[in-house]
């Protein structure tokens, strides 16, 4: 096991009716900027619950944050924060709203060009406090300190992280899952699955506890996904699903392990260039990573195949092929397509992504093993 430092200060308030707890958590008179997206919260009752709980506060609303939150939109909220002396940011939404709000929190207090927080390696030294009401389980953003921001003007998508943007608390009411369109369940299932694999499918035999946690998350997803995509969603399935998402990217399964993240980095550029949903990019890229990196990840692919899919028979390559096929079939079973050509994407995009990575000088994968020629091979394999 690798040495590690672990700290996660996010308080979770989990369960039915927990949105009402905002009343105790946010003092009367607090100046709150409440951020949200395109209006789903007004249709499913979350907005009304939040407003009722904040009735003693001074609430300013900032709606209209897009999926894959856009830098230009977020900078408008930064202006509001700078002029209105906001005490607390409250993100009410999915990963895009929470990530966007983390950026607003940091950018408001940043004295030079906030874009430098995303591309220039500038450090966050101060941030406004923020909290969240999660409406879409997927990213884990409600319990981590990372954020991914898009800039449509230049077709870029970049991330930043700082312990100063950990939410103070996050409210997780599984009943929000009832109103999610199937497309967002599909995206979420694949995103959570991919987060788990990014932290699992690396080095074998050095983190038994985290391995079994990760396998438990994958098995839970495989069990609940078909039911969530069926006709009726039970409360318990929604609750299991929600906590799986949070546990997938809150640092717990990352303790002491090697991490990969090449799939996510490639996926971000596919979103930036073609507007594909985040989960969609992962369903395409992950099987390619498994195929191209099969020698480097051999022992872990075999463990994954055996423990998650029960694959015990055949040669090493046959078992790895079967594990990859099970993964692809699972992604397809939740409604994903797994090839670039399904979205009309081909050679020019592969060349652009490889060139972008070359210019950024990125080292991808655990110990930098996903080199540029591998990135190219991965994308060719999933064409």
- Which residues here bind Zn ion, judged by CB under 5 A? 191
Alpha-carbon distance of 187 to 6, in angstroms, equals 28
| Minimum CB distance to Zn ion smaller for 49 or for 141 | 141
Shortest distance, position 297 Cβ to ligand NZQ, whole Å: 20
Q: Which two tokens stand for residue 59?
A: 């609430």
Shortest distance, position 107 Cβ to ligand NZQ, whole Å: 16
Shortest distance, position 49 Cβ to ligand NZQ, whole Å: 12
Helices 372-381 and 347-360: crossing angle in degrees, nearest 10, is 160
Neighbouring residues of 381: CB distance < 8 A, sequence distance ≥ 6 = 288, 291, 292
Alpha-carbon distance of 270 to 272, in angstroms, equals 5
Shortest distance, position 136 Cβ to Zn ion, whole Å: 12
| Minimum CB distance to ligand NZQ smaller for 123 or for 380 | 123
Alpha-carbon distance of 126 to 114, in angstroms, equals 12
Shortest distance, position 268 Cβ to ligand NZQ, whole Å: 6
| Minimum CB distance to ligand NZQ smaller for 197 or for 308 | 197
| Minimum CB distance to Zn ion smaller for 108 or for 144 | 144
118 φ, ψ (degrees, to nearest 5)? -100, -35
Helix or strand holding residue 12 (H, E): strand 11-14
| Minimum CB distance to ligand NZQ smaller for 115 or for 309 | 115
Neighbouring residues of 227: CB distance < 8 A, sequence distance ≥ 6 = 233, 234, 237
Contact 106, 165 (CB under 8 A): yes
Residue by residue, DSSP assigns 314-358 as S-HHHHHHHHHHHHHHHHHHTT----GGGGT--HHHHHHHHHHHH
Residues that bind ligand NZQ (CB under 6 A): 37-41, 44, 67-68, 93-97, 99, 135-136, 138-141, 144, 146-148, 176, 179-181, 184, 187, 191, 249, 264, 278
| Minimum CB distance to Zn ion smaller for 191 or for 366 | 191
Shortest distance, position 196 Cβ to ligand NZQ, whole Å: 11
């Amino acid at each position: 096991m690798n040495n590690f430092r672990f700290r996660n200060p996010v308080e979770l308030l989990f369960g039915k009716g927990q949105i009402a707890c905002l009343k105790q958590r946010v003092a009367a008179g607090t100046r709150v900027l409440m951020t949200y997206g395109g209006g789903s919260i007004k249709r499913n009752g979350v907005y009304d619950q939040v407003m009722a709980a904040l009735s003693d506060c001074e609430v300013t609303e900032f709606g209209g944050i897009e999926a894959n939150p856009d830098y230009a939109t977020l900078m408008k909220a930064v202006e509001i924060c700078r002029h209105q002396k906001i005490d607390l940011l409250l993100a009410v939404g999915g990963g895009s709203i929470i990530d966007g709000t983390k950026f607003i929190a940091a950018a408001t207090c940043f004295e030079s060009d906030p874009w430098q927080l995303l591309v220039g390696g500038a450090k966050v030294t101060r941030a406004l406090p923020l909290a969240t009401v999660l409406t879409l389980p997927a990213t884990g953003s409600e319990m981590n300190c990372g954020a991914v921001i898009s800039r449509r003007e230049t077709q870029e998508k970049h991330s930043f992280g700082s312990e100063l943007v950990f939410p103070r608390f996050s409210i997780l009411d599984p009943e929000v899952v009832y109103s999610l369109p199937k497309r967002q369940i599909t995206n979420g299932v694949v995103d959570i699955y991919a987060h788990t694999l990014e932290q699992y499918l690396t080095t074998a035999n050095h983190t038994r506890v985290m391995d079994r946690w990760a396998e438990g998350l994958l098995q839970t997803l495989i069990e609940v996904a078909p039911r969530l995509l069926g006709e009726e969603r039970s409360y318990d399935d929604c609750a299991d699903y929600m906590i799986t998402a949070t546990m997938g990217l809150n640092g717990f399964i990352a303790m002491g392990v090697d991490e990969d993240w090449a799939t996510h980095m490639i996926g971000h550029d596919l979103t930036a260039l073609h507007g594909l949903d985040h989960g969609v990019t992962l369903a395409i890229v992950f099987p390619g990573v498994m195929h191209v990196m099969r020698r480097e990840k051999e022992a872990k692919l075999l463990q994954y195949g055996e423990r998650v899919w029960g694959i015990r028979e055949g040669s090493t390559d046959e078992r790895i092929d079967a594990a990859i096929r099970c993964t692809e079939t699972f992604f397809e079973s939740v409604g994903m397509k797994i090839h670039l050509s399904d979205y009309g994407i081909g050679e020019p995009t592969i060349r652009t992504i490889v060139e972008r990575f070359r210019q950024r000088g990125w080292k991808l994968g655990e110990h930098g093993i996903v080199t540029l020629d591998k990135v190219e091979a991965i994308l060719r394999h999933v064409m």
